[in-house]
Structure 1
Amino acid sequence: MLHEERAELVELLRSLTNEEWETPTLCAGWRVRDLVGHLQTDTVSLPNYLLMTVRAGFAVDRVNQALVDRFAALPPQELVDRLAGSNGWFTRFSPGLALSDMFVHQQDIRRPLGRPRTEIPAGRLLAVLNYPDPFAKPKRYLRGLRWEATDVDWTKGSGPLVRGPGEALALAMVGRTVALADLEGDGVPTLRERCTP
């Protein structure tokens, strides 16, 4: 599923214009090219990644920015080629986390560009819903709410209802406020408060 997700993202990226590469994504402060730089984790050797982590003081946000900075000078075509050929330690050691990260970041790019997917395979969507990126601290959004997808057979939790398409739920559970417009239920106001900085 991770390879399929990556292939879809690579196909999208190969179709972008130079202007679209400069478009802001849902990740504050990152353009498309910055986000693709962040997705180069698998192209960095594990020893080098660990060294970057130590230099960043083990702070996830600083490690992510270090990746962006490391690949900032590369042209879009090279960034895409590297991403297309990546299958390193991150993929092998934590494919579930890598899938969730790739899925959310693909949507971080697609939504601002107005390029929605025609379909997301149910199995892939369920995998992401069942294992959201733990570094995005999903428990702070999930707790005390009942989550229910309208397009796949999936529910989680108990309490006031948050209901909508699985893609929007996957984004909301990692704090993407833009997805709230696609959700309904008496739990949405609580979720909106949690997503507000």
Structure 2
Amino acid sequence: MAGETFAFNILGETLENNINPKKTLWLKSQFKKEDIANRLRENPFIASEGKHSDINRNSNLKGKLLIGDINILLDLLNKTPQLVNKIKKDDIDLISVGPPCQSFSLAGLRERDNHKNTLPLSFAQIAGLIKPKTVLLENVKGITSPFTEKKNKYYAWLEVSKAFVLEGFVPVCMLLNSKYFGVPQNRPRFILIAYTPFNDINIFVL
């Protein structure tokens, strides 16, 4: 549903009844490209087990919406250096991500071992392959609160920062509240900006 909305509002592409979408590609699906009706109603957790993909080493991903699991994308990029080189040729200035926050949120179950908690680490690896000049990651304030098991504390935000360091980035972390930036609600957020040293970029932090 999110992909269908994005395709329509941002890319100007209607997916319903469109058996050959040009700007929207599935990383994995149990259904063929022509079976768009079932693709749009497919369980995303099962889609990753499908055998159909719209992407190969010759695909042009510029200006495209990719639908699917970020780990499928990471695996694809690791196995297909041709795609990585195509993306890098565009000299990407910024890539941004807002990973799922359910297990980081103080209002949630706070499950340290939830698989969603590893998605920021996968994103860091993708950034390491693409090498953009700047990375932006946003999440809830709760990501800064430690998971406590017995006497041990695990800081997710710190592990995410370290993941970007290992990929050659310099991370800058901060807490900002959206109410000071034009959003009509009290909305504190964790912001990580990571940049690659020695690039000709300007960073301005309020």
Give yes or no for TM over 0.5: no
Structure of greater Rg: 2
Structure with higher helix content: 1
TM-score relative to the length of structure 2 = 0.29
